[in-house]
């Protein structure tokens, strides 16, 4: 599985936007970019995924660089409930399992 | 529409005992994945099963661990002769299709070995 690189931790303030970066310079043409998050004492939760175009859903937006070597998860208005570990994962279109890295631990300050 | 159900939520075993962790996937999902998360570490893939079949067990320890997903009933992750190093959170996930579908995770079973 192609590797992703994320900062170990980030901090933001409540009600402000948060941009979580992910580098994936070895991404292949068939790799989808998936984001999951894990709140304390819970299982991971799907956030968003995309291939080439930017994606939006009710939880977040995913901005994908034109060369696909990096992407950014955008939380438009962070709340305290968004404090979690966020995982950026590359998943080949034919792959059956998700391979998690270390993720970014996001802290939200009130 | 119930999510992925795992039980028990917490399981305490003494060294040498057996641990059985159960996972009921979401309705209509026939693909189940098990992950283990050691304290302060990331999630590690263990095994992927479809109904009655083990598809990928590349992350399963070679001894003492086994998994099944029978035609009827929940998926079971079984750990025989538990040791302290088995203490971890075990998460189950399910999906409706095999590839490039989002996974839905349960809340996990926290196994503590005394």
**Is residue B107 predicted with pLDDT exceeding 60?**
yes
Chain B partners within 8 Å of A30 (Cβ): none
The alpha carbon torsion through B106, B98, B102, A40 (nearest 10 deg) reads 30
Torsion over CA: B75, B34, B85, A86 (sign): negative
Q: CA A72, CA B35: separation in Å to the nearest integer?
A: 26
| Band of residue B54 on the pLDDT scale cut at 50, 70, 90 | very high
- Can you name the residues that pair with B16 across neighbouring β-strands? none
Q: Using the beta-carbon criterion (under 8 Å), do B105 and A43 form an inter-chain contact? A: yes
Residue B112, CA distances (Å) to B8, B9, B65, B90 in order: 12, 11, 16, 11
Q: Which of A9, A33, A43 to mutate to test the interface with B (most CBs of B within 10 A)?
A: A43
Q: What is the pLDDT of residues B15-40, one digit of tens each?
A: 999 999 999 999 989 999 999 999 88
What is the token pair recorded at A69?
């070597």
Q: What is the pLDDT of residue B100?
A: 62
CB contact A105 to B (< 8 Å): no
Q: Which of B43, B56, B107 shows the shortest C-beta gap to A42? A: B107
The whole-angstrom distance between B62's CA and the closest CA on chain A is: 19
Of B44, B102, B106, the CB nearest to A43: B106
């Amino acid at each position: 599985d192609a590797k992703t690189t994320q900062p170990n931790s980030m901090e933001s303030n409540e009600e402000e936007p948060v941009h979580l970066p992910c580098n994936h310079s070895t991404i292949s043409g068939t790799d989808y970019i998936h984001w999951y998050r894990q709140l304390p004492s819970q299982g991971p939760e799907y956030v968003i995924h995309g291939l080439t175009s930017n994606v939006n859903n009710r939880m977040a937006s995913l901005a994908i660089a034109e060369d696909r070597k990096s992407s950014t998860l955008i939380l438009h208005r962070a709340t305290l409930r968004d404090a979690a570990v966020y995982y950026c994962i590359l998943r080949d279109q034919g792959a059956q399992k998700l391979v998690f890295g270390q993720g970014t631990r996001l802290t939200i300050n009130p | 529409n119930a999510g992925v159900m795992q039980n028990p939520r917490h399981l305490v075993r003494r060294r040498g005992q057996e641990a059985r962790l159960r996972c009921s996937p979401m309705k209509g999902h026939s693909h189940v994945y098990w992950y283990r998360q050691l304290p302060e570490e990331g999630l590690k893939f263990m095994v992927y099963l479809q109904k009655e079949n083990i598809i990928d067990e590349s992350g399963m320890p070679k001894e003492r661990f086994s998994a099944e997903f029978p035609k009827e009933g929940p998926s079971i992750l079984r750990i025989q002769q538990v040791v302290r190093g088995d203490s971890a959170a075990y998460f189950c996930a399910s999906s409706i299709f095999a590839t490039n579908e989002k996974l839905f995770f349960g809340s996990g079973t926290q196994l503590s070995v005394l």
